[in-house]
Structure 1
Amino acid sequence: MRTSKPDTVSAVLARGRLGIPSVVFFVIAAAAPLTVVAGGATTGYAVTGVVGIPVSYLVVAAILALFAVGYVAMSRRIVNAGAFYTYVTHGLGKPAGVATAFVALLAYNAMQIGLYGGFGAVLAQFLQDRYGWNTTWWLCALAAWAAVTVLGLLRIDLNGKVLAVVLVAECAVAVVFDVVMVSNPAASVSFDTLAPSHIFAAGIGAALVTAITGFVGFEGTVVFSEETKDPRRTVPRATYIAVTIIGLLYGLSAWAMSVATGPDNIVDAARTDGTDLIFNLVSPHLGSSIVTVGRVLFITSLFAALLAFHHTVARYLFALGRERVLPAWLGRTSRRTGAPKAGSIVQSVIAVAVLIGYAVASADPIVHLFFWITVTGGLGVLILMTVTSAAVVGFFARTPHRDGLWRSAIAPLAAAGALAAILVVTIQEFDVLLGVAATSPLRWWFPAAYGIAAVLGAVWAVILRATRPDVFTAIGLGADSATAPVRTPDATRQPA
């Protein structure tokens, strides 16, 4: 009896549909610029009490640019929608690769599903304030879920156009707000919050953790590599463009808020106004219609991130199904649109199940879904980037190349060290990030989930090696795994 697997047509994503701009739109949309500017930066000031949030964004951007050196060097040699999973497989071995895949699925599902809580709560509040409509967060979240489910099954380039419109508009509004805030300082234009000395101040660890969460999504350039017109050119350029735009926008916006309130008052203002801070600061100087547009774009920013992370999860499921690490039917794409149909549907099913669970439990959508779950997702991506930097070094150490020591060893080693340091601080201060007591078991339960996922992945890889060696051999092959021969159980049985 032959093991079912996707055929070579349905196991290949639609090629040549994405150029550099489209990939940039996807990954920056996942980072949700206006959401980070209005929500992330403000929360960073309020939670950490650190005034050096602007410089922390710039430091994180520099670290991630360093990470990108080895990351894109790998992308020129390996084109696979599995991204982190594939790179770790080639750099550290198949068990480590499957462990990474399980961590990635948990992390990106957490990011995507957690965003529904923020979207639902913010939209419900907006409808109440603007139109007097009394609705629930979960109804708004389900409306977004329905739209994401449909868009997830359509052509990837059409989704890119939707994200492009939303992204350009929200970035433009963020820049306009920045100009207004800097033009109307509390006293005088001060650069205190950008001082490098803040890097060594107390609490900077928590600030860096907050900052790095805002960048989650930029690394997704590789996830779309199989669908780009020229992956070896598109992925590197899109990655560097994304890091640069995100870093500058975040740093500028966080600094502009401190100028409008005054550096000494920014923490108190953030704690008092929360996510309304940026809108309250510009309201006296802009027409109400422009501020309303900004609030609407805050909501659409959340939706754009939902859509982008949905695509990321679907493609991870596709990559694992195509190589039969997970059920083979996950590795099938739509013949009409080229989208990873099965993976997209599975992600939607998981998301709606969680939303229904939170609604039934009457849990707080902002604290328990949006904040706790997305912070946990950010932790997972930080783990993935740290391990991948080590994998880059391992890959180039065993592979003949002409990439030079900077790309193959120095930059990825430095990135691994910096990311590992932030990871340690993140776990140490996870109680602060969750807003729970230092003795709360939650501070360990959330990070421990990734340890469990990694162990399950590694054990599953070992089981595959013993029981299905043909599948184990194909791990990390990507599209080539669709043409690998499938052996019967008799053919794979080893002699006694």
Structure 2
Amino acid sequence: MTRSASSGTVSAALARGRLGTAHVVFFVVAAAAPLTVVAGGATTGYAVTGVTGIPVAYLVVAAVLGLFAVGYVAMSRHVVNAGAFYTYIRHGLGRPAGVAAAAVALVAYNAMQIGLYGGFGAVTADYLNSRYGAGVAWWVCALAAWAAVAVLGLLRIDLNGRILAAVLIAECAVVVVFDAVMITHPAPPGVTLDTLHPGLVVSAGIGAALVTAITGFVGFEGTTVFSEETRDPRRTIARATFIAVGLTGLLYAGSAWAMSVATGPHRIVDAARTDGTELIFTLTAPHLPDTLITLARLLFITSLFAALLSFHHTVARYLFALGREQVLPAVLGRTSRRTGAPKTGSLVQSALAVLVLAVYAATGADPVVHLFFWITVTGGLGVLILMTATSLAVAGFFHRQTPAIRQIEGTWRTRLAPLLAAVALAAILTATLTEFATLLGVDPTSPLRWMFPATYAVAAAIGTAWAHVLRRTRPDVYAAIGLGADSVTAGTRTTASTHHQHV
């Protein structure tokens, strides 16, 4: 069912029944980019924070996100909508808060997706230039990835899932092999659990370590974005979310610990500062065939590409959800008749990405520091803000439900876990804002430390103001905010629109 609007034809829903639990896990874990986090995130965490407790920080963050997921997936059984955070916050905290969340989500996920092009372009160009003397610029590699993502974004979601599955399984296998090699070749004093000691949780600088750790998990929350396209949303989303948190948490903590075993726990910080993202390759290269090391470097590149593709799908589905409800222009609610993909949302995200890449290429900005590092860190901050607000929204949503629903879900899922998660996430958010200059690698007096976070305050203010404009000028649209596929039917009854087929 579709709804006609002056700005386009709105599709009621995305293609249903194409994703199972495994597909969703592949999408969200690919967004987290395990090999990229292990090779880049963990070593950067050691180097930037100077804290040896990075492995235990990953476990703490995984526990907090597991707590967050309890209420998150409980709500997913009652609200099925590609708008995810936007929809949940709307149902729990009200329509203005929901639209504000939508604005924050669009900034955050676009930042994650577009920022990754800087990392992909730089890493790929370095590989081609050092190995083959290609002399290619970073932006050429970034544009090649952009073209591939733009095409894949318009194809069937399950085809993308199979591509991500192949990449993800290969990179996880390499990470496990590397971990085994590092653990079986320990530096003095041998295999110890020093960097996993619980006491490190209260050590100096652990706030920055927790902030660094949580950025590695960004993407796992995207399970609900794909809820409309799953075969059984009530079960699939819950399973995929907990599997994603557990898998990435164990992988990250285990790999960060394995690196500390291979260098020695007291040398890991210095080693990370010396070798950077090359540390994991430096530690394993003497014990593995050159072909496997070469494969791992290629998988480092494909890991970045997989994350690019996954975040592209997330942004496209947010745009679809907002266009379907006409919070944004209705043309964004169009889907492809052939593939069921959110056609216009995908094209808009691709257009924005290529525009930003063109600006960075023209200005000669550093693709690693100014695009990859600064922008993805800012994107991670936005997702953290949304998770904190969503925890409160979950508690608010169930508070307004019938006693029967609250009894079915239980007090733990409807109240205790969401509120505890909100407190824990708020603490990490506070640490993030406090340590933001350190995360960006700038002087504490630099205006950048507040300019980047301020973009979310501006986005939220614009979203809130727009919600009030809709309430005054388009009450039918305002009333349908957060209704998902039902908004199409509601809008049809209100406006007596004519039904059309998908484009």
Is the TM-score greater than 0.5? yes
User: After the TM superposition, which residues 246-261 of structure 1 pair with which residues of structure 2 at under 5 Å, given as runs?
Assistant: 246-261=248-263
Would the aligned equivalents of 1:82 and 1:319 in 2 still touch at CA under 8 Å?
yes
Q: Which residue of 2 aligns with 1:433?
A: 439
1:276 to 268, 275, 278: 278
| Counterpart Cα distance in 2 of 1:17 and 1:488 | 32
| Counterpart Cα distance in 2 of 1:11 and 1:110 | 28
Q: Which residue of 2 aligns with 1:36?
A: 37
Q: Which residue of 2 aligns with 1:207?
A: 209
Number of residue pairs matched by the alignment? 487
1:481 to 483, 487, 491: 487
After superposition, the C-alpha distances for 1:235-261 in whole angstroms (9 at most, x for unaligned) are: 000000000000000000000000000
Would the aligned equivalents of 1:3 and 1:488 in 2 still touch at CA under 8 Å?
no
| Counterpart Cα distance in 1 of 2:495 and 2:80 | 29
Q: Does 1:108 align with 2:114?
A: no
Q: Which residue of 2 aligns with 1:221?
A: 223
Local SS of the residue matching 1:485: helix
- Residue 4 of structure 1 deviates from its aligned partner by 2.9
Matched to 1:49, the amino acid is: G
Q: Which residue of 2 aligns with 1:457?
A: 463
After superposition, the C-alpha distances for 1:125-153 in whole angstroms (9 at most, x for unaligned) are: 00011111111000000000000000000
| Counterpart Cα distance in 1 of 2:45 and 2:8 | 45
Local SS of the residue matching 2:452: helix
Matched to 2:287, the amino acid is: H
After superposition, the C-alpha distances for 1:104-162 in whole angstroms (9 at most, x for unaligned) are: 00000000000000000000000011111111000000000000000000000000000
Q: Which residue of 1 aligns with 2:363?
A: 361
After superposition, the C-alpha distances for 1:199-254 in whole angstroms (9 at most, x for unaligned) are: 00000000000000000000000000000000001000000000000000000000
Q: Does 1:76 align with 2:77?
A: yes
| Counterpart Cα distance in 2 of 1:3 and 1:131 | 53
Q: 1:293 to 1:278 in 2, by over 3 A?
A: same
Local SS of the residue matching 1:446: helix
User: After the TM superposition, which residues 164-243 of structure 1 pair with which residues of structure 2 at under 5 Å, given as runs?
Assistant: 164-187=165-188, 188-243=190-245
For structure 2, the residue ranges without an aligned partner over 5 or more in a row are: 497-503
- Residue 11 of structure 1 deviates from its aligned partner by 3.2
Would the aligned equivalents of 1:81 and 1:225 in 2 still touch at CA under 8 Å?
yes
Matched to 1:477, the amino acid is: L
Q: Which residue of 2 aligns with 1:293?
A: 295
Q: 1:157 to 1:470 in 2, by over 3 A?
A: same
Q: Which residue of 2 aligns with 1:121?
A: 122
Matched to 1:157, the amino acid is: D
Q: Does 1:245 align with 2:247?
A: yes
| Counterpart Cα distance in 1 of 2:8 and 2:398 | 31
| Counterpart Cα distance in 2 of 1:471 and 1:488 | 10
For structure 1, the residue ranges without an aligned partner over 5 or more in a row are: 490-496
Q: Which residue of 2 aligns with 1:419?
A: 425
Matched to 1:12, the amino acid is: A
Quote the RMSD (CA, aligned, Å): 1.1
Matched to 2:265, the amino acid is: P
Would the aligned equivalents of 1:7 and 1:482 in 2 still touch at CA under 8 Å?
no
| Counterpart Cα distance in 1 of 2:9 and 2:233 | 23
Q: Which residue of 2 aligns with 1:374?
A: 376
Would the aligned equivalents of 2:480 and 2:491 in 1 still touch at CA under 8 Å?
no
Matched to 2:80, the amino acid is: V
Would the aligned equivalents of 1:11 and 1:333 in 2 still touch at CA under 8 Å?
no
| Counterpart Cα distance in 2 of 1:131 and 1:345 | 34
Matched to 1:363, the amino acid is: A
Q: Which residue of 2 aligns with 1:146?
A: 147
Local SS of the residue matching 1:393: helix
Q: 1:488 to 1:74 in 2, by over 3 A?
A: closer
Q: Does 1:447 align with 2:453?
A: yes
| Counterpart Cα distance in 2 of 1:137 and 1:179 | 33
| Counterpart Cα distance in 2 of 1:372 and 1:378 | 10
With normalisation by structure 1, the TM-score equals 0.97
1:470 to 444, 466, 476: 476
Would the aligned equivalents of 1:155 and 1:339 in 2 still touch at CA under 8 Å?
yes
After superposition, the C-alpha distances for 1:61-120 in whole angstroms (9 at most, x for unaligned) are: 000000000000000001000000000000000000000000000000000000000000
| Counterpart Cα distance in 1 of 2:104 and 2:179 | 37
Would the aligned equivalents of 2:27 and 2:164 in 1 still touch at CA under 8 Å?
yes
Matched to 1:462, the amino acid is: H
Would the aligned equivalents of 2:118 and 2:142 in 1 still touch at CA under 8 Å?
yes
After superposition, the C-alpha distances for 1:139-197 in whole angstroms (9 at most, x for unaligned) are: 00000000000000000000000000000000000000000000000120011000001
Would the aligned equivalents of 2:9 and 2:330 in 1 still touch at CA under 8 Å?
no
Would the aligned equivalents of 1:51 and 1:267 in 2 still touch at CA under 8 Å?
yes
Would the aligned equivalents of 1:180 and 1:285 in 2 still touch at CA under 8 Å?
yes
Matched to 2:305, the amino acid is: F
After superposition, the C-alpha distances for 1:329-358 in whole angstroms (9 at most, x for unaligned) are: 000100000000000000000000000000
Local SS of the residue matching 1:484: helix
| Counterpart Cα distance in 2 of 1:7 and 1:118 | 37
Would the aligned equivalents of 1:166 and 1:297 in 2 still touch at CA under 8 Å?
yes
- Residue 6 of structure 1 deviates from its aligned partner by 5.7
Q: 1:7 to 1:346 in 2, by over 3 A?
A: closer
Would the aligned equivalents of 1:104 and 1:380 in 2 still touch at CA under 8 Å?
yes
User: After the TM superposition, which residues 331-342 of structure 1 pair with which residues of structure 2 at under 5 Å, given as runs?
Assistant: 331-342=333-344
Matched to 1:318, the amino acid is: F
| Counterpart Cα distance in 2 of 1:139 and 1:430 | 31
| Counterpart Cα distance in 2 of 1:66 and 1:152 | 32
| Counterpart Cα distance in 2 of 1:488 and 1:241 | 43
| Counterpart Cα distance in 1 of 2:495 and 2:22 | 45
Q: Which residue of 2 aligns with 1:399?
A: 401
- Residue 3 of structure 1 deviates from its aligned partner by 4.2
